[in-house]
A and B are shown apart, each in its own frame.
Chain A
Amino acid sequence: MTEALADTVTRTLPETLMIASPLDALRGVAATLGAAFVAVPECPLAAGDHAGPGSVWSHTDALDEWRTETSEGPQTGAIVVAVWPTTNTAAPFTTMSPTDFAVRSEWPFVAWYAALGAAIERCADGGTIVAVIERPSPLDCAGWAPESGTADAVEAMIRSLARSEGPRGVRVNAVTTPSRLAPAQPIAPPPPLSSFPGSVDHEVSNAVSMLLGSGSAGVTGTVVHADCGRSWR
């Protein structure tokens, strides 16, 4: 995002809170938006651990406590939520161990649910929530089954919230990005924009700003794919 645009954003958006994984890229978005930052707990396990199926669920009590504490903060008019893992690599679904699956699918699912739950509580009436989702583009999604599943799940979560929170004037939308998941050589045809897969600090931040702003006052339950034209669904 350019300095001029960042200045415009910080002058026109309501006070913003970012509830997100503690990654540099996401802290950068918060800085651009002038947002306070609350870190979402990271997965207590790592891919490759030998913890067994269901192992992440022994940590949900701590996640419950985090959600409760986060929910008790002051309300604000604009909230950005992003739950991203530290890193992952593409892998065939049938080569993933139960723990790998738990780390890549089960924890993100429950962590997104917790983070969005906290966002609802912190969002003032008439406010807006934007989820920033990592989504592999449909053409490039082989090897990313857990991430594809999480992306679709979060899209459904934001549509559920758009319905439940709409009566109090809260809008809930999402921006998706394949910025960390795109293959070096995308399947043909090439993405329409040569800037594919896009970056967090430019394509994603701009789309987030658009959805947070009053220019999208009638938009809720919508997903904007900030992926340079790679997706059309």
Chain B
Amino acid sequence: MSDRVVLITGASGGVGRGIAHACGAAGWTVWIAARRRAEGEQVAAEVESAGGRGHFAECDAADADAVERVVAEIVTTSGRLDGVVLNATSGLSPKPVVFADVPLGELEDHVAVSLRGMHILALATYPHLRASKGSFVALTSEAGFEGKAKLSVYAAIKAAQRGIARSLAREWGPDGIRVNCVAPLAGTPAMDRAFAMDPEMASRILGRNPLGRMGDPATDVGPIVRFLLSDDSRYLTGNTLMADGGSCPIS
């Protein structure tokens, strides 16, 4: 378990950063792919401090050429690719919208990063995951299960990722590749922005959470994603694990 090579997109902060820390603590080689160089390099350094090997690669998750270059660099440098985490999400995710009025062109950034980006990442990593019999994990959300009155685009995008992952698990299973999702609820800068835009959101979310707190990206969510990337979950595919402290009424 100590020599895994994993790629995490959008890991320059938030949940992706927490996942990187958890994988680094296991001694893994962690590639941070993100647009923000300074923050991404900082996370790579934090992975080193945690006991792993951290690398940063500047990358826009919606740019197929950029993703292919990063994957090629990983395989050239680290020799293989064992796990992929699709974590990048649109910067518009926490922006409240009115369903009937949102300009449809605004949906493109969500789609480009999270849906087209999922296709791009799957295409680029499939041959390498097949070689390693690896694991693909997509970060979805409880919003994708239950919908959100003010975040309907985000909710639909996150649901779509789960549906695609379900099909991919069946398509890639014969190759020994597992595909799963994690629906986290964690305190992140993105969540802070969402709370700022909707002041009642925090009380709504925490009011129904039996554990009564937001998750920590590194110590609550990261180990669950790491589990899905590891051989400990080698018989688990096509699933969504709710890493939300029991917040979402799905069981």
Q: Which residues of A does B touch, CB under 8 Å?
A: 53-54, 57, 60-61, 63-64, 67, 71, 92-94, 96, 98, 101-102, 105-106, 109-110, 113-114, 116-118, 120-121, 136, 138, 141-146, 148-164, 221
A148 with B166: CB separation less than 8 A: yes
Q: Closest CB-CB distance, A186 to chain B, in whole Å?
A: 13
A141 with B167: CB separation less than 8 A: yes
Contact with A along B162-192 (1 / 0, CB 8 A): 1110111011000000000000000000000
Q: Closest CB-CB distance, B157 to chain A, in whole Å?
A: 7
A54 with B105: CB separation less than 8 A: no
Q: Is the interface of A mostly helix, strand, loop or mixed?
A: helix
Chain A residues within an 8 Å CB radius of B139: none
Chain A residues within an 8 Å CB radius of B149: 160, 163-164
B73 within 8 A of A: no
Can you name the residue of chain B whose Cβ is closest to the Cβ of A116? B99
Interface residue from B143, B166, B238 paired with A156 (Cβ < 8 Å): B143
Interface residue from B108, B168, B171 paired with A60 (Cβ < 8 Å): B108
Interface residue from A98, A106, A155 paired with B64 (Cβ < 8 Å): A98
B144 within 8 A of A: yes
A93 with B160: CB separation less than 8 A: no
Can you name the residue of chain B whose Cβ is closest to the Cβ of A151? B163
Q: Closest CB-CB distance, B47 to chain A, in whole Å?
A: 29
A158 with B147: CB separation less than 8 A: yes
A159 with B115: CB separation less than 8 A: no
A163 with B167: CB separation less than 8 A: no
Can you name the residue of chain A whose Cβ is closest to the Cβ of B108? A57
Chain B residues within an 8 Å CB radius of A161: 99, 147, 152
B1 within 8 A of A: no
Contact with A along B114-145 (1 / 0, CB 8 A): 01100100110010000000000000000111
A152 with B115: CB separation less than 8 A: no
Chain A residues within an 8 Å CB radius of B108: 54, 57, 60
A160 and B105 contact, Cβ closer than 8 Å, known pairs A109-B160, A144-B167, A148-B167? no
Q: Which residues of B does A touch, CB under 8 Å?
A: 64, 99-105, 107-108, 111-112, 115-116, 119, 122-123, 126, 143-153, 155-164, 166-168, 170-171, 238
Chain A residues within an 8 Å CB radius of B104: 60, 63-64, 67, 110, 113-114
Chain B residues within an 8 Å CB radius of A121: 100
Q: Can you give 16 contacting A-B residue pairs, CB < 8 Å?
A: A53-B112, A54-B116, A93-B122, A96-B119, A106-B115, A113-B156, A138-B166, A138-B238, A141-B166, A141-B167, A152-B144, A153-B159, A153-B163, A156-B147, A157-B147, A159-B145
Determine the distance from Cα of A120 to Cα of B147 in the docked complex, in whole angstroms: 16
Chain A residues within an 8 Å CB radius of B157: 153
A93 and B119 contact, Cβ closer than 8 Å, known pairs A109-B107, A156-B143, A160-B149? yes
Question: Most chain-A Cβ atoms within 10 A of its Cβ — which of B123, B156, B157?
Answer: B156
Determine the distance from Cα of A121 to Cα of B99 in the docked complex, in whole angstroms: 10
Chain B residues within an 8 Å CB radius of A158: 147
Can you name the residue of chain A whose Cβ is closest to the Cβ of B112? A54
B116 with A101: CB separation less than 8 A: yes
Chain B residues within an 8 Å CB radius of A155: 159
Chain B residues within an 8 Å CB radius of A149: 115, 159-164, 167
Determine the distance from Cα of A141 to Cα of B101 in the docked complex, in whole angstroms: 33
Q: Closest CB-CB distance, B52 to chain A, in whole Å?
A: 29
A93 with B167: CB separation less than 8 A: yes
Can you name the residue of chain A whose Cβ is closest to the Cβ of B127? A94
Chain A residues within an 8 Å CB radius of B147: 156-163, 221
A98 with B167: CB separation less than 8 A: no
A110 and B171 contact, Cβ closer than 8 Å, known pairs A116-B99, A156-B159? no
B153 with A113: CB separation less than 8 A: yes
A98 with B162: CB separation less than 8 A: no
Question: Most chain-A Cβ atoms within 10 A of its Cβ — which of B108, B147, B168?
Answer: B147
Can you name the residue of chain B whose Cβ is closest to the Cβ of A106? B111
A94 and B122 contact, Cβ closer than 8 Å, known pairs A64-B103, A149-B163, A151-B163? yes
Can you name the residue of chain A whose Cβ is closest to the Cβ of B141? A156
Chain B residues within an 8 Å CB radius of A94: 122-123, 126, 171
Q: Closest CB-CB distance, B87 to chain A, in whole Å?
A: 17
